A and B are shown apart, each in its own frame.
Chain A
Amino acid sequence: MSNDRSFSAVMARKQEIMKKSVGIDYEIFESGSISFDYERMMKETGYSLKEIEEIQKQTSVGNTPLYELRNITKLARKYAEPGKGARIFIKDEASNPSGSFKARRAATAVYHAQRLGYKGVIAATSGNYGAAVASQAAMRGLKCIIVQECYDSRGVGQPEIIEKARACEAYGAEVVQLSVGPELFYSFLLLLEDTGYFNASLYTPFGIAGVETLGYELSMQFREQEGRDPDVVVITNAGGGNLTGTARGLIKAGALDTEIVGASVSLAGLHMASDTQFNKKSFTTGHTGFGIPFATWPDRSDVPRSAARPLRYIDRYVTVNQGSVFYMTELLAQVEGLERGPAGNTALAAAFKVAQELDQDQIVVVQETEYTGAGKHILPQLTFAKENGIEILIGDPSQEIPGKNIILPKDPGHLCIEELDLEKTRKSYIRNCITNNNVNKATAEDLAFLIADTKSNEGFVRAVLAELDIEVETEAK
């Protein structure tokens, strides 16, 4: 095979490489217009909840403990109206084999790769998912390559990402590190083509189905322990898979009244593909730089159709500043005796505020924690921030300017969250569906798809389409 290895030629072969490396023909779920059959894709290419429980059991994934954060709840109540301040719980996903909930996603992906006879797996990730895939590959005897965006043009790397590289190597993986830029995808495609390995994408149906057990377990644990489902689940949101999988698992458990709240670290103003801004941020995941683009266009991922579709499940979306997440990480260690990684505590910072809106007998649960270690810890991350010219201040976190300063709340009462306008996000998603599918009218099927994919209603979608001058065909084709 004498393939052209130039950037444009490799990108042009994208569909072909993808099809071979994930073993899914996404075409069969397409309608040819905006809509595609999401549920059919999840059903026919994924695994049932029972099967996933079985697969995850084989590699000791899941069944993580649930802790009540009594002191953090007590602190939240001090700053709430009388009678307010729901009980805050956390699911300790750090106790999974690779130290994060990502083991659930990796377990199904690596199992699937092995079943289909692939010799190895490749994942493009700078986060916990890399260590998860490497760990699962080690257990199943597959080879593993992790591709990371790691360094800026000075060769300076985010301490958190460097720690992830170390962890992947510890599990016997090869780590290909790259400098800043979305062309990582080009290197990733070349590696898939050269090796013939499986694309252990975060966004395949089996990857997302792997997270469903998390939501399902939550419901079962609360029913056993408290006799009912939690009122609110707060989920750190980046690419949308954590939220999608957890919400689907809750639905499968029959926990239909549980509110799904997404939380991301606000990195407003920082450009994710900028070489000079790469090291101005102190979070490499769980932030708005992934959260918003992936919510408004999930199919930007490394597979033709992403199984992670957060707008389909989200009820409320809030952002928190970097300082509040570092603060909560320190608080979790200091008053709950749990030292965990910062990024996983994004949802915890949000939950602290959400709990204050609810009654004391209600339950808010943060559905994950992640491991902590050298590089991936508040001290090295704040040290790194200082070395990159970021000021660390104590005061009003709502004044934080990403890339310029990090503001720690001066007391628990100063922690704040910001509401994201979901109507606007849903509108952007619908607009992107029109633009990216290059259509000038919508079918009846499209209308139904857009309602489901934005968890909205017919009136809303019709109004947005009308605003965009898109006519809706009355009859289904």
Chain B
Amino acid sequence: MIIMDAKRGDWVRIHKTILNVGERAPNIPEDTQSVPLEMWDKGFLMNETANKGDLVEIETYIGRKVEGTLIEINPYWDHDYGKAVPELLYIGRQARELLEEGADNE
């Protein structure tokens, strides 16, 4: 039996090119002209089975049917609170010190 990446009903993410290079609006910067306009969307897989890279159809959360290339199964968010930014550490300490000194002009 061949094992496929996803089956009908799986929650997936798709990708699609909306405008190819050459089809883009004329008055945009050159760097943007030279890349396609791309789209990403999520939904439940409509195809019986599919592999990443296949052209598939999904039903989005609100029930719209959209076609695109399957790129992720069970997509999730991984944005976070970033890394340490030591540059910020003086702000609170300095301000508290200034406040302790009392106001000059009151």
Contact = CB atoms under 8 A, between A and B. Distances in A.
B32 A335 contact: no
Interface stretch (A26-34, A170-178, A209-217, A451-459): A170-178
Contact of B103 (A74, A169, A274): A74
A380 B31 contact: no
Interface of A is mostly: mixed
Interface stretch (A76-84, A236-244, A302-310, A436-444): A76-84
B3 interface: no
A150 B37 CA distance: 11
A131 interface: no
Interface string A317-333: 00000000011001101
A374 B81 contact: yes
Contacts of A144: 62
B18 interface: yes
Nearest to A71: B99
Contacts of A411: 94, 98
A78 B64 contact: no
A173 B94 CA distance: 43
Interface residues of B, number: 45
Interface in B15-51: 18-19, 23-25, 28-29, 31-32, 35-43
Contact of A274 (B32, B84, B95): B32
A7 interface: yes
Interface in B68-106: 77, 79-85, 87-88, 90-92, 94-96, 98-99, 103-106
A157 to B, nearest CB: 8
Given A182-B25, A392-B87, A77 B81 contact: no
A192 interface: no
Contacts of B90: 394
Contact of A181 (B24, B79, B88, B95): B24
Nearest to B85: A382
Contact of B62 (A75, A120, A277): A120
A179 B38 contact: yes
Contacts of B103: 74, 77-78
Given A162-B79, A163-B79, A85 B105 contact: yes
Given A78-B103, A120-B62, A181-B32, A331 B95 contact: yes
Interface centre among B79, B83, B105 (most CB of A within 10 A): B79
Nearest to B77: A166
A375 B32 contact: no
A378 B82 CA distance: 9
A75 B29 contact: no
Contact of B91 (A78, A330, A381): A330
A375 B98 contact: no
Among all A-B residue pairs, the 8 with the closest Cβ atoms:
A383-B82, A334-B92, A380-B82, A375-B79, A379-B82, A153-B35, A179-B38, A143-B62
24 contacts: A71-B99, A77-B105, A165-B77, A169-B61, A174-B41, A174-B64, A177-B39, A179-B39, A182-B28, A183-B24, A183-B25, A186-B19, A187-B39, A327-B91, A330-B88, A331-B92, A379-B82, A380-B79, A382-B82, A382-B87, A383-B82, A384-B82, A408-B88, A408-B91
Given A173-B61, A182-B28, A378-B85, 17 more contacts: A80-B105, A82-B105, A84-B105, A143-B62, A151-B40, A174-B43, A174-B61, A174-B64, A183-B24, A186-B19, A273-B28, A330-B88, A334-B92, A374-B81, A377-B82, A378-B88, A392-B85
